[in-house]
Structure 1
Amino acid sequence: MPSLTSRPPGPAAAKAGAPADAPSRPGRDPFFDNAKYLAIVLVAMGHSWEPLPGSGRVVETLYTFVYTFHMPVFIILAGYFSRGLELRSGRMWKLVTSLVVPYAVFEIAYTLFERLTGSPQFPLSPLTPYWLLWFLPALFLWRLTTPFWETVRWPVAVALVIAAMGAVTSNIGGDLHLQRILQFLPYYVLGLQLRPAHFDLVRRRAVRIAAVPVCLVALAAAYWAVPRTTTSWFFRRYGAEQLGSPAWAGAPVTLLLFGCALVLSACFLAWVPNRRLWMTALGAGTLYGYLLHGFVIKGAVKLGLFEKDVFSTPGGRILLSVAAAAMVTALCSPPVRRVFRYVVEPRLQWAVKPKPAP
């Protein structure tokens, strides 16, 4: 995912203002790359379930279960690796090239894609992110606020109040999906507060064992909730009144979703492998899988592939899930990253003003 690095802050980062207890072991920690890869697989599978007509209660249950925690995990990790962020000129330039520039490029690319595949009047609207692109401006804005959250006394509580205010308000404009930025904010702020010891805690064997019954209970709860509520709550894109509930319901639902997301995120991380595996290298390229898999999903929708009879059967839906996992795996691979590096991770050194001579 965007701008997540698996290199924990070392001694040099500590001098620059990183937390004193940041780990100093060299290289990338395979645990975080494995977590990002497995999470992006869940994202792709969830997006492949969305277009299924009459997907059925089982698929809706899995969809609800996955959407409870897959984006919170990414955002928590983004916050964790943003600790000690200083808004100096060099760092600001990196934020622009790693988030703002790819957002602009892919916003244009997806607009052209829509216009060339049956929607010639599809508007180019930079302030209205296309589908999955909302995460790039959201992460940019969250990172700009990092110094504030590292200063305030109760950062997570304050962020939860802001998220709840967003959920009870239905007249927030749609620019940059501000509703999502506000409602997902607590996960980023929580990530800023985490330390390596917290991740070591969820990686214990006892937590791994306990995660199994917890996930089974969560699946049963999701199965019960499917016909009784809407999955739109998990998108964090709307206020309570827009979802047919009284405005005051937005506050308790925000807290409920936050608690559920934390528990299931811990269960997910408990089962992430700690050692270097075949998936570890793919974890460094999840930004590519995230930005590119939308073309495949939307292309399949436009071709009517999701309406094929084969996908109306349990076996067909399993096949679809496996295909989605394989697709995003390929998009995270080194060959794809080499081809798209200049648009996903542009350096743009030619645009940087040269430093004055001493």
Structure 2
Amino acid sequence: MQHIFYHYLVFQSLYSLLDVLIFHAPGVRYSFFMPYSLLWFLFSHFCWKLLLLIFAKIKHPFIVSVLMGIAVGYAPFIGAWLSFSRTFVFFPFFLAGYYFRSEMLPTALAAKIKWAGAVGTAALLLFAYVHPIDPKWLYSSFTFRELGFTAWYAGIYRLGVYVLEVFASLCFLSLVPLRRATMTEWGNHTVYVFLLHAIITKTAIATGIFAHIQSPLQIAAVFLMAGLLTWVLLQERIRRLSRPLIEPDLAFWERWTVSRHRM
């Protein structure tokens, strides 16, 4: 958990400073209690680790976590503060990842459900095209009031979004290969992509380049550049240069916490 706290402390400071100097994103509140952009995940991840200490000991943790994810939408304050809304809305998925093991899915069954996953993905895309959903529901950083829903039954909409998200997750996971490959090793270092890519993307947004991306060819080029950027940030040279910042030796922190605990 100390690495999560360290990453949030350092990169919340770094990205806030870069925003003042370069990004100039509108509506940003500079506070350690208001996670900057993608850093909400670090704050929420830290909270999920703490919540897990409690939920691992209670009965029916998934049901309780889903009810909490729905209930938090009725909060009277801003959902982005302390990443409060996202922490509880996405916590059921963190729980699912904690309890799920690949051994639970027989290899023979995994091979058979790939086609079902492909069909399900196509059906989901068609549904999204015919019945587009306000992206704010998927961000999960807004209370129901912020989304314009003040009726008592607003939570039913979030429950429906949960169903769609679970279905989409199962479709995606059914298409993920179970065998080890080159990308398996890359997956061990995705923290570098997560923490570094926003420096480039936020700079691109600040230049206004995305306002000129309109044609399908240009959109395809953006996707290709995103893939290339991911590959570059995973390279050993980049990891070696940024390792002192992203993966420093925190042994001194562990020794300090142990000594404080003994006292």
One fold, TM greater than 0.5?
yes
Q: Is 1:192 the equivalent of 2:98?
A: yes
Q: Which position in structure 1 is the counterpart of 2:247? A: 345
Gaps of 5+ in 1: 1-94
> TM-score scaled to structure 2, two decimals?
0.89
Q: Which position in structure 2 is the counterpart of 1:221? A: 127
Q: Which position in structure 1 is the counterpart of 2:193? A: 289
Gaps of 5+ in 2: none
Which has the higher relative contact order, 1 or 2, with Cα contacts under 8 A spaced 6 or more apart? Answer: 1
Report which stretch shifted further, 229-238 or 271-280: 271-280
Q: Is 1:323 the equivalent of 2:225?
A: yes
Q: Which position in structure 1 is the counterpart of 2:15? A: 110
Q: Which position in structure 1 is the counterpart of 2:176? A: 272
Q: 1:222 to 1:297 in 2, by over 3 A?
A: same
Q: Is 1:298 the equivalent of 2:194?
A: no
Q: Given that residues 144 and 154 in structure 2 are in contact (C-alpha distance below 8 angstroms), is that contact kept between their aligned partners in structure 1? A: yes
CA distance in 2, matches of 1:240, 1:164: 10
Q: Which position in structure 1 is the counterpart of 2:160? A: 256
- 1:98-247 map, 5 Å: 98-117=3-22, 119=24, 124-172=30-78, 174-200=80-106, 204-226=110-132, 229-247=133-151
Q: Given that residues 168 and 249 in structure 1 are in contact (C-alpha distance below 8 angstroms), is that contact kept between their aligned partners in structure 2? A: no
CA distance in 1, matches of 2:114, 2:56: 31
Greater percentage in helix: 2
The Cα shift of 1:123 comes to 5.7
CA distance in 2, matches of 1:137, 1:347: 21
Please provide the CA RMSD for this pair: 2.4
The Cα shift of 1:221 comes to 0.7
CA distance in 2, matches of 1:118, 1:260: 34
Q: 1:255 to 1:321 in 2, by over 3 A?
A: same
> TM-score scaled to structure 1, two decimals?
0.66
The Cα shift of 1:201 comes to 6.7
CA distance in 1, matches of 2:73, 2:204: 33
SS of 2:152's equivalent in the other structure is helix
Q: Which position in structure 1 is the counterpart of 2:235? A: 333
- The number of equivalent residue pairs is 257
Q: 1:215 to 1:326 in 2, by over 3 A?
A: same
Q: 1:171 to 1:344 in 2, by over 3 A?
A: same
State the one-letter code of the partner of 2:168.
L
Q: Is 1:313 the equivalent of 2:215?
A: yes
Q: Given that residues 179 and 237 in structure 1 are in contact (C-alpha distance below 8 angstroms), is that contact kept between their aligned partners in structure 2? A: yes
Q: 1:280 to 1:210 in 2, by over 3 A?
A: same
Structure 1 stretches of at least 4 aligned residues deviating more than 6 Å after TM superposition: none
Task: String of CA shifts for 1:57-109, please: whole Å, max 9, x gaps.
Answer: xxxxxxxxxxxxxxxxxxxxxxxxxxxxxxxxxxxxxx11x101111111111
